[in-house]
C-alpha cells in the first residue's frame, strides 16, 4: 500500500447485537491493500459475524464501513452484497455438486459474455494450476482439490477483497499445511487483499501480514505476527498466542519479584502492587543439579522436534513447563537446575483472565 493509497477496507466503531446480546463492540480496524489479514480468536468471539457484516449479508447496529475510501455502510447508506466486489470462500467450500469444476468457476461470471467467461476461467485455472480438474465434478475431488477449486471460484470475479472463513479447517494436518502454503503463495502472487478467519494462532502467525486478535466481541490487539507474539498487550494475548507459565509477583522499583527471580517491568503501578509474569516454556532451560534454581522433573513428553518437560519448583503450587530442542538426559524424579532466558518473559498488571 502506497502512502497516499487508502486501505482496502476500513471498519469504524462497528457494533452488532443479536438476541439481546452484544456480539461485536466498537470494532475499528484498517485492512491494508494487497495483504493477508487474519481475524483470530476463540469460537464465539465474533469473527464470522464480522465477515458477514463486511460481505453485506448482515447489517451492523452501529458504525461505518468503507472500501477504497468509499462508504458502503453507514448512517442511511448500505451497498448491497452483489455490488461490493467482495469474494467469499466458505468453510465447507459450497461447490455446486451437479455441475463441473469449469461451470462452478464460471458461475460468478454471469454478467460476462460466454467468450469473456471462458477467458477468465482459463486465466484462473492456469494461475492456480487446476487445469486437470476442469471437467470433473466436486464429488470426485479430494479435500485439497475442492479447496483449490473453491479458491479459484472466489478469485474468478477479481474481487477487491476476498473473505475466507476457516478455509483450511476441513483438511487433515499434513494436507492442511501444504494447501495453506499453496493458497498463500497464490494470494501473494496475485496481490489479493484477503481476510482469513481462524481460531488457530499458529496458522495466523504463519500466513498473516496483519493479525487482529479478538476476544468476546472486541479487539484485544492488532499487529504483525512478530508484534503480537513478541509484544503482547495483555496476559490473554500472551497466552492465546502460545503456551505460557504464569507467575504472580510483587511490583517494586520497576521490577516484578517472583519465587524464581526478578524481572524488569515497565508498568505504571505503585510499589507493592501485584503483577503477572507470563514466561514462555522455551524461555526456561534445565541442566544437571548445580548453579541455578533448584527444581525436580515431574514428567517428560517427546514431541519429535522438541521435548516437553514439567518441573516442580519450591514454593510454586503449580509445575512449570519447559520446551527444549535439545535432548534432556535427566530422568523423571531427578533434581535439576533451572535457568531463565529473560527475552521471552512478558510482564503485566495483575488481572483475572478466563482460560
* pLDDT tens-digit series, residues 225-256: 999 999 999 999 999 999 999 999 999 999 99
Query: Is residue 297 a part of any domain in this protein?
Result: yes
Evaluate if residue 355 carries a pLDDT over 60. Answer: no
Asked whether 250 and 272 are in contact (CB, 8 A), the reply is yes
Q: E strand or H helix at 237, and its extent?
A: helix 235-241
CA–CA distance, 281 with 264 (Å, rounded to integer): 18
Segment 145-166 shows an average pLDDT of 95
Domain range spanning residue 328? 244-349
Q: What's the pLDDT band for 2 if we cut at 50, 70, 90?
A: low
Asked whether 46 and 65 are in contact (CB, 8 A), the reply is no
Write out the three cell numbers for 312. 516442580
CA–CA distance, 84 with 62 (Å, rounded to integer): 19
Query: Is residue 121 a part of any domain in this protein?
Result: yes
Backbone angles phi, psi at 325, to 5 degrees: -90, 0
Residues 101 and 201 in one domain: yes
Residues 183 and 228 in one domain: yes
Q: What percent of the chain has pLDDT over 90?
A: 84
Segment 82-97 shows an average pLDDT of 91
Instruction: Specify the DSSP class assigned to residue 17.
Output: E
Instruction: From residue 266, give the alpha-carbon distance in Å to each of 107, 161, 241.
Output: 56, 39, 21
Query: Is residue 126 a part of any domain in this protein?
Result: yes
From its phi and psi, is residue 166 left (phi > 0), alpha (psi between -120 and 50) or beta? Answer: left
From its phi and psi, is residue 217 left (phi > 0), alpha (psi between -120 and 50) or beta? Answer: left
Name the pairing type of β-strands 307-312 and 274-279. unpaired
Residues 232 and 282 in one domain: no
Greatest Cα pair distance in the chain:
78
Asked whether 324 and 307 are in contact (CB, 8 A), the reply is yes
Evaluate if residue 108 carries a pLDDT over 90. Answer: no
- Residue identified by cell 494462532 is 201
Domain stops at, among 237, 257, 279 = 237
Which of 217, 207, 130, 105 has its CA nearest to residue 164?
207
Q: Give the model's pLDDT for residue 3.
A: 55
Backbone angles phi, psi at 324, to 5 degrees: -130, 135
Evaluate if residue 327 carries a pLDDT over 70. Answer: yes
Residues 218 and 250 in one domain: no
**Lowest mean pLDDT, pick from 169-173, 278-282, 322-326:** 169-173
From its phi and psi, is residue 280 left (phi > 0), alpha (psi between -120 and 50) or beta? Answer: beta
* pLDDT tens-digit series, residues 185-200: 999 999 999 999 999 9
Residues 94 and 212 in one domain: yes
Instruction: Specify the DSSP class assigned to residue 37.
Output: E
Domain stops at, among 237, 252, 281 = 237
Q: What's the pLDDT band for 28 if we cut at 50, 70, 90?
A: very high
Evaluate if residue 354 carries a pLDDT over 50. Answer: no
CATH value at residue 331: 2.40.50.140
Q: Give the model's pLDDT for residue 151.
A: 95
| 205-209-215 Cα angle (round to 5) | 60
* pLDDT tens-digit series, residues 65-78: 999 999 999 988 99
Q: What's the pLDDT band for 353 if we cut at 50, 70, 90?
A: very low
Evaluate if residue 352 carries a pLDDT over 60. Answer: no
The per-residue pLDDT of the chain, averaged, comes to 93
Asked whether 154 and 193 are in contact (CB, 8 A), the reply is no
Q: Give the model's pLDDT for residue 164.
A: 96
Contacts with 94 (C-beta within 8 Å, 6 or more apart), sequence order:
150
Amino acid at each position: 500500500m502506497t502512502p497516499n493509497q487508502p486501505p482496502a477496507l476500513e471498519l469504524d466503531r462497528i457494533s452488532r447485537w443479536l438476541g439481546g446480546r452484544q456480539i461485536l463492540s466498537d470494532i475499528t480496524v484498517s485492512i491494508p491493500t494487497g495483504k493477508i489479514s487474519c481475524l483470530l480468536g476463540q469460537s464465539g468471539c465474533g469473527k464470522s459475524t464480522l465477515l458477514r457484516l463486511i460481505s453485506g449479508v448482515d447489517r451492523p447496529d452501529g458504525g461505518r464501513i468503507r472500501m477504497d475510501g468509499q462508504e458502503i455502510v453507514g448512517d442511511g447508506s448500505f451497498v448491497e452484497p452483489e455490488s461490493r466486489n467482495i469474494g467469499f470462500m466458505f468453510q465447507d467450500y459450497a461447490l455446486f455438486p451437479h455441475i463441473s469444476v469449469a461451470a462452478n468457476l464460471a458461475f460468478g461470471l454471469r454478467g460476462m459474455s460466454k467468450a469473456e467467461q471462458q477467458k477468465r476461467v482459463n486465466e484462473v485455472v492456469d494461475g492456480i494450476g487446476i487445469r486437470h480438474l476442469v471437467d470433473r465434478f466436486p464429488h470426485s475431488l479430494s479435500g485439497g482439490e475442492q479447496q483449490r477449486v473453491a479458491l479459484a471460484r472466489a478469485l474468478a470475479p477479481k474481487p477487491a477483497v476476498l473473505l475466507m472463513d476457516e478455509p483450511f479447517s476441513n483438511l487433515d494436518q499434513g494436507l492442511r499445511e501444504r494447501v495453506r502454503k499453496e493458497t498463500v503463495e497464490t494470494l501473494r502472487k496475485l496481490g489479493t487483499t484477503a481476510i482469513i478467519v481462524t481460531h488457530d494462532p499458529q496458522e495466523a502467525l504463519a500466513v498473516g501480514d496483519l493479525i487482529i486478535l479478538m476476544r468476546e466481541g472486541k479487539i484485544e490487539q492488532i499487529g504483525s505476527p512478530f508484534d503480537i507474539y513478541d509484544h503482547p498487550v495483555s496476559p490473554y494475548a500472551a497466552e492465546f498466542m502460545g503456551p505460557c507459565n504464569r507467575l504472580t509477583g510483587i511490583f517494586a522499583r520497576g521490577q516484578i519479584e517472583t519465587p524464581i527471580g526478578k524481572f524488569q517491568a515497565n508498568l505504571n503501578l505503585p510499589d507493592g502492587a501485584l503483577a503477572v509474569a507470563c514466561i514462555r516454556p522455551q524461555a526456561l532451560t534445565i541442566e544437571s543439579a548445580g548453579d541455578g534454581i533448584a527444581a525436580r522433573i515431574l514428567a517428560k513428553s517427546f514431541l519429535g522436534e522438541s521435548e516437553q518437560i514439567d518441573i516442580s519448583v519450591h514454593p510454586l503450587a503449580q509445575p512449570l513447563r519447559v520446551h527444549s530442542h535439545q535432548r534432556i538426559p535427566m530422568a523423571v524424579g531427578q533434581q535439576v537446575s533451572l535457568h531463565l532466558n529473560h527475552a521471552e518473559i512478558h510482564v503485566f498488571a495483575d488481572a483475572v483472565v478466563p482460560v
